[in-house]
Chains A and B, each alone.
Chain A
Amino acid sequence: NAGVTQTPKFQVLKTGQSMTLQCAQDMNHEYMSWYRQDPGMGLRLIHYSVGAGITDQGEVPNGYNVSRSTTEDFPLRLLSAAPSQTSVYFCASRGQGPYGYTFGSGTRLTVV
Chain B
Amino acid sequence: GQSLEQPSEVTAVEGAIVQINCTYQTSGFYGLSWYQQHDGGAPTFLSYNALDGLEETGRFSSFLSRSDSYGYLLLQELQMKDSASYFCAVRNRDDKIIFGKGTRLHILP
| Chain A contacts to B: CB under 8 angstroms | 31, 33, 35, 40-45, 48, 50, 56, 58-59, 90, 92, 98-106
Contacts and interface: CB of A to CB of B under 8 A. Distances in A.
Interface in B1-58: 8, 31, 33, 35, 41-48, 50
B95 A48 contact: yes
Residue of A42, A48, A58 most packed against chain B (CB within 10 A) = A42
Contact of B102 (A42, A56, A100, A103): A42
Given A40-B101, A42-B101, A101 B96 contact: no
Contacts, number: 55
Given A42-B99, A90-B42, A101-B45, 18 more contacts: A33-B97, A40-B101, A44-B99, A45-B96, A45-B97, A45-B98, A45-B99, A48-B95, A50-B95, A56-B96, A92-B43, A98-B48, A100-B45, A101-B97, A103-B42, A103-B43, A104-B42, A106-B42
Contacts of B102: 42-43
Given A42-B87, A56-B94, A102 B45 contact: yes
A105 B99 CA distance: 18
Given A104-B42, A105-B42, A106-B42, A31 B48 contact: no
Interface residues of B, number: 24
B43 A43 contact: yes
A90 B99 CA distance: 13
